[in-house]
Amino acid sequence: MNGQAASNGDSASPDFIRIENLSKHFDDFVAVDSVSLSIARGELFSILGGSGCGKTTLLRMLAGFEVPTTGRIFIDGIDVTDLPPYERPVNMMFQSYAIFPHMTVESNIGYGLRKDRLPKSEIGSRVDQMLELVKLNDFRHRKPDQLSGGQRQRVALARALIKRPKVLLLDEPLAALDRKLREHTQFELMAIQDRLKITFIVVTHDQEEAMTLSTRIAVMEQGRFEQVGTPKQVYEYPCNRFVADFIGTINTFESRVVGCTDGVIEVESAEAGSHLHALTDKPIASGDSVSIALRPEKIFISQERPDAAEDTCLHGIVEDLGYFGNLSLYRIRLSTGKIVQVSAQNRRRSAERFLEWNDEVWISWQRQSAVVLTE
């Protein structure tokens, strides 16, 4: 085995986990379709996708519960593809938490060490450490059915961490918690990850969760990765329409390229009713059809026509508006009939609305805010 040599001190290696052409077929259904990926040590990597996109199957292959149809998995230089779950340096936190109902909190957490036949005293002290880490000291003798959802989540986390796995897999770790608790737990999870330096792989359908938690995100659809990148890359530079749509909200204008100079393209869009500009480094020629995409928060809204020459500027009326406290969401109808979503922070404190239904407004944006999507 060449594993030992690779594992020593080489913490910057981007190939701590390496997945090569991994596929999983269930009869005729292709759940995971020839996926390749490298994850560095200590990353908090998220696999994001809708239900049925194959993200859980991928996670289960990493844990050893599913046998890949083709492809290999390497963890810290060792080929683990054919190892059973109980021999992998990987632990998993299940979506249902899977806490053993007939054991106390303490024996749940200690289970993994007992299977490794560690001396009793060491098991005891490490269970204590874990209880400390997840702040469940007072609950150690409780049975799982006497715990709240958040406490069960922490038991599951402690139980999965106690063996100090090289990789922790988390299947929808926060899905079962309510909103307030979810936000809190998110940061707790990040703090724990930072402290223990264990590589986390999180599967989630919640794009907000993926954005805040992760160092990198893989957006998955129909068994393939659409895009892999940092939260910023994925949000600000989506590589295609699916990613742009899946992460956050986005307005798109179907357009045809009329000119291209020095990375600035000029397009003609029937939907926008005018010429638009955008920056791109993609190879694009006149006559290509592209989509110009804009995030709602990148668009400014005003009652007077803004005068900056660099900006794109369109006229419309307020079709609908929603007040969310910290921000307001507007749906603006352009003269072409196209609806554009715009969000604006409510900076001023006022009981009156800044805009009303059917008000005439101008929307504008800087040309570098626009994303060019070629598919």
Partner 1 sequence: MKRRSAFVLSALAFGYAFLYVPLASVIFYSFNDSRLATVWGGFSTRWYGELWGNDQVLDAAFLSLRIAVTSATLATVLGTLAGLALVRVTRFRGRTLFSAMITSPLVMPEVITGLSLLLLFVSLQQLVGWPAQRGFSTITIAHTTFSMAYVAVVVRSRLAAMDQSLEEAAMDLGGRPLRVLVDITLPLIYPAMLAGWLLAFTLSLDDLVIASFVSGPGSNTLPMYIFSKVKLGVTPDINALASLVILFVSAGVLLAWLVTRRGPGQPGRT
User: Which residues of this protein are in contact with partner 1, per CB under 8 A?
Assistant: 63-65, 84-86, 90-92, 94-96, 98, 100-102, 111-112, 115-116, 145, 159-160, 163
Q: Toward partner 1, which CB reaches closer, 86 or 324?
A: 86
Q: Reduced to 3 states, what is the DSSP secondary structure of residue 352?
A: coil
Q: Toward partner 1, which CB reaches closer, 138 or 145?
A: 145
Q: Which long-range contacts (CB under 8 A, 24 or more apart) does 72-75 make?
A: 72/19, 72/20, 72/21, 72/22, 73/17, 73/18, 73/19, 73/20, 73/22, 74/15, 74/17, 74/18, 74/19, 74/20, 75/16, 75/17, 75/166, 75/167
Residue labelled with tokens 């800087």: 366
Q: Toward partner 1, which CB reaches closer, 155 or 332?
A: 155
Q: Toward partner 1, which CB reaches closer, 104 or 230?
A: 104
Least CB distance from residue 231 to partner 1, whole Å?
Answer: 28
DSSP string covering 290-342: EEEEE-GGG-EEESSPP--TTSEEEEEEEEEEEE-SSEEEEEEEETTS-EEEE
Least CB distance from residue 164 to partner 1, whole Å?
Answer: 12
Q: Toward partner 1, which CB reaches closer, 26 or 187?
A: 26
Alpha-carbon span 138 to 152, nearest angstrom: 14
Beta strands (DSSP E) in 196-261 are 199-204, 216-221, 224-229, 251-261
Least CB distance from residue 77 to partner 1, whole Å?
Answer: 21
**Rg of the chain over all Cα atoms, to the nearest angstrom:** 25
Question: What are the Cα distances from residue 68, in Å, to 65, 71, 80?
Answer: 10, 7, 11
Least CB distance from residue 176 to partner 1, whole Å?
Answer: 13
Q: Toward partner 1, which CB reaches closer, 153 or 227?
A: 153
Q: Toward partner 1, which CB reaches closer, 160 or 292?
A: 160
Q: Toward partner 1, which CB reaches closer, 145 or 281?
A: 145
Least CB distance from residue 134 to partner 1, whole Å?
Answer: 16
Least CB distance from residue 171 to partner 1, whole Å?
Answer: 9
Alpha-carbon span 289 to 241, nearest angstrom: 13
Q: Toward partner 1, which CB reaches closer, 118 or 284?
A: 118
Spatial contact of 39 and 59, defined as CB atoms under 8 Å apart: no
Least CB distance from residue 137 to partner 1, whole Å?
Answer: 21
Spatial contact of 155 and 106, defined as CB atoms under 8 Å apart: no
Least CB distance from residue 226 to partner 1, whole Å?
Answer: 28
Q: Toward partner 1, which CB reaches closer, 111 or 242?
A: 111
Least CB distance from residue 308 to partner 1, whole Å?
Answer: 56
Least CB distance from residue 195 to partner 1, whole Å?
Answer: 21
Q: Reduced to 3 states, what is the DSSP secondary structure of residue 120?
A: helix
- Per-residue tokens: 12: 């910057």
Alpha-carbon span 148 to 186, nearest angstrom: 17
Residue 109 falls in which region: left (phi positive, over 0), alpha (psi -120 to 50) or beta = alpha
End-to-end CA distance of the chain: 44
